[in-house]
């Protein structure tokens, strides 16, 4: 490699590489609830932790028509679900999506969600500088217990 190229490309590659590392959101405990026969709606759960402030603002999958970000809360003994425009992640603060709380709701399932199979979701995040990143994640389908 010509020295000139080395001085241009290596710092550039490092910048791209370090930027991706910085943007990555850690996703753990991800799973999708197995659907009952004929059911057209599904739910996905996971823990999200970001090294910097960011927002989950869009999710999609080939296995459903649409995915919404929902919160769930108990008001006067009634469970209420609400669609959120974004799920805000504070730096290094794990945000748990779990039954009874935040979740991703899959509408218009194209196939039944069978335990032992997988669902792939694309999660889209937008940081404070309006920079958008996408992360694909494959979630196992499990029976709720």
**Contact stretch for Cu ion (CB under 5 A) within 14-22, 68-76, 115-123, 131-139:** 68-76
Least distance in angstroms from the C-beta of 68 to Cu ion = 7
Least distance in angstroms from the C-beta of 14 to Cu ion = 42
66 touches Cu ion (CB under 5 A): no
**Contact stretch for Cu ion (CB under 5 A) within 2-10, 12-20, 99-107, 129-137:** 99-107
Measure the CA–CA gap between 54 and 129, rounded to whole angstroms: 9
CB nearer to Cu ion: give 55 or 70: 70
- Burial class from Cβ neighbours inside 10 Å (0-12, 13-18, 19+) for residue 33 reads buried
DSSP 36-47: PTT--EEEEEEE
CB nearer to Cu ion: give 16 or 79: 79
Measure the CA–CA gap between 29 and 92, rounded to whole angstroms: 16
- Binding Cu ion by CB under 5 A: which of 46, 97, 105, 121? 105
- Report 6-65 residues binding Cu ion (CB under 5 A): none
81 touches Cu ion (CB under 5 A): yes
Measure the CA–CA gap between 37 and 21, rounded to whole angstroms: 41
How many residues are recorded in the chain? 145
Least distance in angstroms from the C-beta of 71 to Cu ion = 8
Q: Which tokens belong to 94?
A: 């794990």
Q: Locate tokens 């694309």: which residue?
A: 122
Q: State CA 66 to chain mean position distance.
A: 14
70 touches Cu ion (CB under 5 A): yes
List residues binding Cu ion (CB under 5 A). Answer: 70, 81, 105
């Amino acid at each position: 490699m010509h020295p000139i190229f080395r001085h241009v490309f290596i710092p550039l590659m490092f910048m791209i590489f370090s930027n991706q590392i910085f943007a990555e959101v850690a996703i753990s405990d991800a799973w999708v609830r197995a659907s009952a026969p004929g059911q057209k709606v599904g739910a996905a759960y996971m823990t999200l932790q970001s090294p910097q402030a960011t927002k989950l603002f869009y999710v999609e999958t080939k296995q459903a028509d649409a995915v919404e970000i929902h919160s769930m809360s108990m008001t006067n003994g009634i469970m209420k679900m609400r669609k959120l425009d974004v799920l805000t992640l504070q730096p290094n603060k794990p945000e748990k999506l779990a039954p009874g709380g935040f979740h991703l709701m899959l509408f218009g399932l194209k196939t039944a969600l069978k335990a032992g199979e997988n669902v792939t979701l694309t999660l889209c995040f937008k940081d404070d500088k309006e920079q958008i990143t996408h992360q694909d994640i494959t979630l196992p389908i499990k029976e709720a217990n």
